[in-house]
Chains A and B, each alone.
Chain A
Amino acid sequence: MDTMSPLERVLRGIAITLVILFFMFPIFWIFLMSFQTNETILRVPPSIVFEPTIANYQALLTGRLETAAGTLEIRFMRNLFNSLFLSTASVALALVLGIPAAYAFARLKFRGSEEIAFTLLSFRFAPPLLVLLPLVIYFQQIGLANTYIGLIWVYQLICLPLILWIVRGYFEDIPADIEHAYRIAGHRWFTTFRKVALPLAGPGIAAAGLLAFIFAWNNFIFALVLASADKQPVTVGALAFVTASGIQFGQIAAAIVLSIAPVFALALYAQRYLVEGLSLGAVKG
């Protein structure tokens, strides 16, 4: 690499610039748009020089949209709350269900454990609508239609396999001898699990939880099929918001910014674990 010719250096520089431009420009542009009024957005030619306004964010936060036709109620904050609540509760449940199972799969090899683990993993790959469509009908019959509980349960489809497989990898990485030594010292199985295995796998559990949160937050299809307006997360809400507000492009952009900002923050925080999580533990970052 040290033998790079000047020409190659220039070509590499151009390539990297183009890559950054392609992947960053949309985010940059939408971010700018969120601080503009319709007048500056609709200018021809478009320009990055404008008087920034926070009116779009104000309208979203207060839930009142002033239009020429009158005041419109927007429920975007509700969507934001739903995203936060659904993702947090789903991850919490997935951790409670997944950690003991991950430990069992990693440490206490038992008959059928691999088959069960694979069945769980295969849900990660099955078409979600295949499970969702019957649930539309079932949920109506058993009263789970448009409830948080129903949605949180369905979110386990994405959260549980992720947590199970990543955390299992972390448990497998802990030398079994440490736990043996602790147990030989006379501690119960559960104490060993709580005092030794859990803290050692802690970072892995945290990373898996953060990733599951991101996947749950970004999910679209579950809530599109199963939730009505008052339970919809931002992914579905923002889309409905477009038709509702129609011409207020700055507010749509602001809604997008508010919807993706939390995930960006988490991803930055957990970036060390992203590779491992995205590949379900197959590749280490």
Chain B
Amino acid sequence: MSDATLATPPMRRFRVSRRALPYLLSLPALLACILILIPFATAVGYSLQRYRLSQPWAREWNWGQNYVDLFNDPAFWNTLRVSLSYAFVVVGIELLLGLGIALLLQRRTRFNNFVSIMLLMPLMTAPALAALMWKLMTNPGFGILSYFMALIGFPDFRWAASPNTAFLTVVLVDVWVYTPFIMILLLAGLRSLPQQPFEAAALDGVPRLFVFWRITLPMLTPYLLTAVLFRMIESIQQFDIIYAMTQGGPGNRLTVFQVEAYLNFFQATNVGRSAAILMILWVITYILSTIFIKNWLRLREKTRAGA
């Protein structure tokens, strides 16, 4: 906006405060922001200290020692491996499934709109409660899914309780909750694509598979990127579903970053180590979110320009 249009006589009174006004308006939000930066700085400090809640007297700065210890600890490498494979597996499945469903529901019919709204229900379920629902369904005593598994020849399928299937069970719950997220983002993307290229291709009798690979997918890429990055950032930090389902177990099968940090803090009361784990997670999410925000801004500009 230009100041020239605003600097008309009636406003002269406010010209002095005009400079301060934006700061004043955003001050409350800024204060909230700063109040959050304080614990963040504290956490950085913790990660550089030897600090156990059980031995407060032994608290001292040990600088990078927590990180060195982590890198020499197979438990940390397990955490890194589990977190990364969790993120890649869930995002991969959710992307394929979400894209498939979005393509199925692409046409704006009453039925398709109804289904897409219905599919939002898992996404609106609190992840911790979703985990609880699946726990009831996979209970060895009366779980309907355990019963189905017995029917098809796996009478002793233990789901989240068995080290062999715990990972897959948690992935299944994550897929159930978050696939609709990717689905509605891609559905909105698909429906907002310009129609001319598709009409032209149809006129020329271009095969549908070719249209999909050469027109639909490239035009959908910004939406795909947004959905994937968003879910990547979230799933590498997944806590609710895993904690509610298995608390990181059995053994260390599902001790992803935040679960491992939680257990280190509350069970081992090792604050320094817990903070160091979280700092490493923060670096990963920071890199991902920087890429995400750049892509997101571009998409947002495009959306606003088209609106």
DSSP class of B's interface residues: helix, strand, loop or mixed?
helix
Kindly state the separation between the CA atoms of A13 and B107 in the bound complex, as whole angstroms.
14
1/0 per residue, CB under 8 A from B, across A12-50: the answer is: 100110011011101101100100000001111110000
Q: Determine, out of B60-68, B88-96, B118-126, B159-167, the stretch whose residues face the partner at the interface.
A: B118-126
Which residue in chain B gives the minimum CB-CB distance to A38?
Answer: B142
Q: Does B77 contact A (CB under 8 A)?
A: no
Determine whether the beta carbon of B29 is less than 8 Å from that of A97.
Answer: yes
Chain A 135-173 interface mask (CB, 8 Å, partner B; 1/0): 111100000000000000100110010001000010011
8 A Cβ contacts from A107-121 to B: 107-110, 113, 116, 118-121
Residues of B close to A103: CB separation below 8 A: 25
Find the B residue at minimum CB distance from A130: B278
Ordered by A's residue number, 17 sampled pairs between the chains whose C-beta atoms are within 8 Å are A15-B104, A41-B142, A97-B28, A104-B22, A109-B1, A122-B289, A126-B285, A127-B285, A129-B258, A133-B46, A134-B39, A153-B35, A172-B304, A189-B14, A220-B244, A256-B129, A283-B303
What's the Cα separation between A278 and B244 when bound, in Å? 23
B29 and A1 form a contact (CB under 8 A): no
Q: Which residue of B lies closest to A280 (CB)?
A: B296
Across the interface, do A274 and B184 meet the contact criterion of CB distance under 8 Å?
yes
Instruction: Tell whether B87 is near chain A: CB-to-CB under 8 Å.
Output: no
* The residue from A1, A24, A107, A129 contacting B107, defined by CB atoms under 8 A apart: A1
A-B contacts besides A29-B137, A153-B32, 10 pairs, CB < 8 Å? A42-B141, A42-B142, A129-B261, A131-B36, A184-B10, A219-B126, A239-B128, A275-B188, A280-B296, A285-B188
Is A85 close to B, CB under 8 A? no
Q: Which of A116, A132, A184, A267 contacts B124 (CB 8 A)?
A: A267
The reply to whether A134 and B124 contact each other, CB–CB distance below 8 Å, is: no
Contact status B128-A30, CB under 8 Å? no
A284 / chain B contacts, CB cutoff of 8 Å: 188, 192, 303, 307
Contact of A88 with B by CB under 8 A: no
A197–B234 Cα gap in the complex (Å)? 34
Q: Which of B133, B230, B244, B257 contacts A30 (CB 8 A)?
A: B133
Count of inter-chain pairs, beta carbons less than 8 A = 280
In the complex, chain A residues whose CB is within 8 Å of the CB of B265: 129, 133, 136
CB-based contact B129/A235 at 8 Å? yes
Q: Any chain B CB within 8 A of the CB of A244? A: no
State which residues 154-201 of A face B: CB under 8 Å. Answer: 156-157, 160, 164, 169, 172-173, 176, 180, 183-184, 186, 188-189
The interface of chain B, by Cβ under 8 A from chain A, is: 1, 5-6, 8, 10-11, 14, 18-19, 21-23, 25-26, 28-30, 32-33, 35-36, 39-40, 42-43, 46, 100-101, 104-105, 107, 115, 117-130, 132-137, 139, 141-142, 144, 147, 176, 179-181, 184-185, 188-189, 192, 223, 226, 230, 233, 237, 239-240, 243-244, 257-258, 261-262, 265, 271, 274-275, 278-279, 281-282, 285-286, 288-289, 292-293, 296, 299-300, 303-304, 307
B contact residues around A249 at 8 Å (CB): 136, 139, 142
Q: Which of A229-285 contact B (CB under 8 A)?
A: 234-236, 238-239, 242, 249, 252-253, 256, 259-260, 263-264, 267-268, 271, 274-275, 278-285
Contact B275 A173 (CB under 8 A): no
Smallest CB gap from A135: residue in B: B39
Rounded to whole angstroms, the CA-CA distance of A128 and B285 in the bound complex is 11
- Partner of A127 from the list B117, B188, B282 (CB cut-off 8 Å) is B282
Residue count of chain A within 8 Å CB distance of chain B: 104
Q: A100 in the interface, Cβ–Cβ < 8 Å?
A: yes
Q: Looking at B6, B144, B262, which has the most chain A CB atoms within 10 Å of its CB?
A: B144
